[in-house]
Amino acid sequence: MYNFLNVRIFGAWAVLLWPVLFTKCIPLDCPDEQGGLSRCPSISQEKLLDRVIQHAELIYRVSEESCSLFEDMFVPFPLRLQRNQASYTCITKALPIPSSKTEIQQISDKWLLHSVLMLVQSWIEPLVYLQSTLDQYDNAPEVLLNKTKWVSEKLISLEQGVVVLIRKMLSEEMMTATYSEQALFQYDVQPEMLESVMKDYTLLSCFKKDTHKIETFLKLLKCRQTDKYNCA
């Protein structure tokens, strides 16, 4: 369907490095006998937080690689400038997520965790959509498709881990008011070719930005657990 640029030859490192991500990622959830998530009594809160952070780091790394890969293949430089100048906004812009350094430093641990959960939940459905659109691209490299699928699966695992972490740290169930990604993300039935590429590029760019936020929030939370008064 899409044929803006010829396929570029990617280095062998991408193929060789890719399986490492699968082996390093430790499962986050602790299913009970009924298949539901328990409070993970077998793992300490500290270790669970470490696992959540590890997942967030890997997801951010792969999202960064995916965005760069898509950009190199399908987005010529003039269109990159166009995205920066046009009114392409991130789907999570409407969420009450702290953005400035001052705001982030002032919010509570509870709100840090709930901010992470809101961001994670908001991206689950858009990533499923992105997988379906990338399948329609002519000459889309297998490594890009695999990365997108991997991130989508691990995001669900991250959501489960954050939910358990909230239960452990705050003695709370899931947020009573979850943010529906359907309300934030609008589907186009048959968008124009160029517009669809720019939309996918925006999704990847915004997802990379938000996964960096998630990683930052979790690492700040970790710092507060160990050195509350020296977390910058």
What does the domain layout of the chain look like in residue ranges? Answer: 29-226
Tokens 């590429």 belong to residue? 197
CB distance 188 to 89 below 8 Å: no
* SS3 assignment, position 140: coil
If you classify domain 29-226 with CATH, what class do you get?
Answer: mainly alpha
pLDDT bracket for residue 12 (50, 70, 90)? very low
Backbone angles phi, psi at 74, to 5 degrees: -120, -10
* 41 pLDDT above the threshold of 70: no
C-alpha to C-alpha distance for 125 and 81, rounded to whole angstroms: 27
- State the Rg of the chain over Cα: 19
- The region of weakest confidence among 18-22, 87-91, 133-137, 177-181 is 18-22
Whole-number average pLDDT of the chain: 77
* 97 pLDDT above the threshold of 80: yes
pLDDT bracket for residue 9 (50, 70, 90)? very low
User: Which of residues 232 and 64 earns the better pLDDT score?
Assistant: 64
| 8-state DSSP, 29 | -
Range 112-123 average pLDDT: 95
Structure tokens at 208: 């990379």
Range 30-44 average pLDDT: 54
Tell me the pTM.
Answer: 0.77
C-alpha to C-alpha distance for 24 and 40, rounded to whole angstroms: 20
pLDDT bracket for residue 16 (50, 70, 90)? very low
Instruction: Please work out, in degrees rounded to the nearest 5, the angle formed at the alpha carbon of residue 145 by the alpha carbons of 137 and 20.
Output: 160
C-alpha to C-alpha distance for 212 and 40, rounded to whole angstroms: 26
Residue 66 pLDDT: 95
C-alpha to C-alpha distance for 108 and 201, rounded to whole angstroms: 33
Residue 210 pLDDT: 96
* 160 pLDDT above the threshold of 80: yes
Express each pLDDT in 46-85 by its tens digit: 899 999 999 999 999 999 999 999 998 888 877 776 665 5
Range 146-163 average pLDDT: 94
170 residue type, one letter: L
pLDDT bracket for residue 194 (50, 70, 90)? confident
C-alpha to C-alpha distance for 173 and 164, rounded to whole angstroms: 8
pLDDT bracket for residue 122 (50, 70, 90)? very high
| 8-state DSSP, 107 | S
In angstroms, the Cα distances linking 132 to 37, 73, 149, 151, 219 are: 29, 18, 10, 14, 32
Backbone angles phi, psi at 2, to 5 degrees: -105, 135
Write down how long the chain is.
232
User: Which of residues 189 and 29 earns the better pLDDT score?
Assistant: 29
Structure tokens at 215: 């990683």
C-alpha to C-alpha distance for 143 and 151, rounded to whole angstroms: 12
